[in-house]
Amino acid sequence: MNKIRFDELPLSPEVQRAIADMGFEEASPIQTEAIPVVLEGRDIIGQAQTGTGKTAAFGIPTIESIDERDKSVQALILCPTRELAIQVAGEIQKLIKYKPNISIVPIYGGQSYDRQLRALKQGVQIVIGTPGRVMDHIERGTLKLDKIKKIILDEADEMLDMGFRDDIEFVLSKMPEERQTILFSATMSKPIMDLTKLYQKDPVLVKVVHKELTVTNIDQVYFEVRNSMKQEVLSRVLDMFNMKSVVIFCNTKRMVDELVTSLQSRGYLADALHGDLNQNQRSNVMGKFRNAQLEILVATDVAARGLDVENVEAVFNYDLPQDEEAYVHRIGRTGRAGKSGRAFSFVSGRSDMYKLKDIMRYTKANIQLQQVPTYEDVNELRTSMFLDKVREVLEKGNLTKHITTIEKLVNEDYTSLEVAAALLKMSLKEAKVKEAGKEAEKGLGFSKEGFDRLFITIGKKDRVHPKDLIDLLSANADIPASKVGDIDLYDKFSFVEVPTEYTANILEKVGRIEVDGRMVVVEKSDKKGAGKEGGDREDRGGRGRFGGGDRDRDRGDRGGSRFGGPRGGGDRDRGGDRGGSRFGGGDRDRGGDRGGSRFGGDRDRDRGGESRGFRRKRF
102 and 234, same domain (yes or no) = no
76 and 158, same domain (yes or no) = yes
Please name the helix (run of DSSP H) or strand (run of DSSP E) that holds residue 150, with its range, or none.
Answer: strand 150-153
Phi, psi of 104 (to 5 degrees): -130, 160
Tell me how far apart the alpha carbons of residues 616 and 610 are, in angstroms, rounded to a whole number. 17
Tell me how far apart the alpha carbons of residues 582 and 595 are, in angstroms, rounded to a whole number. 10
Q: Is residue 441 part of a domain?
A: no
415 and 332, same domain (yes or no) = no
307 and 189, same domain (yes or no) = no
b/e for 59-68, b at 16 or more Cβ within 10 A? bbbbbbbbee
* Amino acid letter for position 508: E
Structure confidence by residue, pLDDT tens digits, 419-450:
787 777 776 654 344 444 444 443 434 556 78
The boundaries of the domain holding residue 229 are 218-373
CB-based contacts of 380: which residues, under 8 Å, 6+ apart?
none
493 and 386, same domain (yes or no) = no
Structure confidence by residue, pLDDT tens digits, 149-177:
999 999 888 888 888 889 999 999 899 98
CA 341 to chain centre: 16
Query: Could you tell me the CATH number of the domain that includes residue 288?
Result: 3.40.50.300
Return the pLDDT at 617: 36
303 and 345, same domain (yes or no) = yes
Q: Is residue 445 part of a domain?
A: no
Tell me how far apart the alpha carbons of residues 65 and 40 are, in angstroms, rounded to a whole number. 10
Tell me how far apart the alpha carbons of residues 106 and 85 are, in angstroms, rounded to a whole number. 6
Q: Is residue 343 part of a domain?
A: yes
Tell me how far apart the alpha carbons of residues 573 and 282 are, in angstroms, rounded to a whole number. 11
Return the pLDDT at 337: 62
Return the pLDDT at 391: 84
Tell me how far apart the alpha carbons of residues 87 and 145 are, in angstroms, rounded to a whole number. 23
Strand-pair partners of 207:
47
48 and 193, same domain (yes or no) = yes
Q: Which region holds residue 94: left if phi is over 0, alpha if psi is between -120 and 50, else beta?
A: alpha
The angle subtended at Cα 490 by Cα 479 and Cα 250, nearest 5°, is 115
337 and 226, same domain (yes or no) = yes
Of 247, 265, 261, which Cα lies nearest the Cα of 314?
247
* Amino acid letter for position 11: L
Return the pLDDT at 577: 40
Tell me how far apart the alpha carbons of residues 172 and 194 are, in angstroms, rounded to a whole number. 14
b/e for 5-30, b at 16 or more Cβ within 10 A? ebeebebeebbeebbeeeebeebbbb
Tell me how far apart the alpha carbons of residues 123 and 126 are, in angstroms, rounded to a whole number. 9
Return the pLDDT at 217: 76
> Considering 177, 212, 247, which residue would you say is the last residue of a domain?
212
> Considering 334, 358, 373, which residue would you say is the last residue of a domain?
373
Q: Is residue 493 part of a domain?
A: yes
Return the pLDDT at 209: 53
Return the pLDDT at 557: 39
- C-alpha to C-alpha distances, 66 to 34, 76, 90, 125, nearest whole angstrom: 18, 12, 18, 7
203 and 234, same domain (yes or no) = no
Return the pLDDT at 314: 92
512 and 592, same domain (yes or no) = yes
Backbone Cα Rg of the chain: 29
Tell me how far apart the alpha carbons of residues 152 and 105 are, in angstroms, rounded to a whole number. 15
179 and 222, same domain (yes or no) = no
Return the pLDDT at 442: 39
Q: Strand, helix or coil at 36? A: helix
Strands 75-78 and 150-153, bridge-based pairing? parallel
> Considering 344, 373, 402, which residue would you say is the last residue of a domain?
373
Q: Is residue 109 part of a domain?
A: yes
- The strands making up 368-369's β-sheet, listed across from edge to edge, are 270-273, 296-299, 246-249, 314-317, 341-347, 218-224, 368-369
406 and 487, same domain (yes or no) = no
- C-alpha to C-alpha distances, 247 to 243, 289, 292, nearest whole angstrom: 11, 10, 13
CB-based contacts of 562: which residues, under 8 Å, 6+ apart?
261, 264, 265, 467, 555
* Amino acid letter for position 360: M
Q: Is residue 72 part of a domain?
A: yes
pTM: 0.44
Of 371, 29, 429, 406, which Cα lies nearest the Cα of 222?
371
Return the pLDDT at 552: 38
Report how many domains make up the chain.
4
Please name the helix (run of DSSP H) or strand (run of DSSP E) that holds residue 368, with its range, or none.
Answer: strand 368-369
Identify the segments of the chain with pLDDT beneath 50: 210-214, 430-445, 527-619
Q: Strand, helix or coil at 544? A: strand
48 burial (CB, 10 Å; 0-12 / 13-18 / 19+) is buried
E strands, 193-338, in order = 204-207, 218-224, 246-249, 270-273, 296-299, 314-317
Q: Is residue 443 part of a domain?
A: no
Q: Is residue 440 part of a domain?
A: no
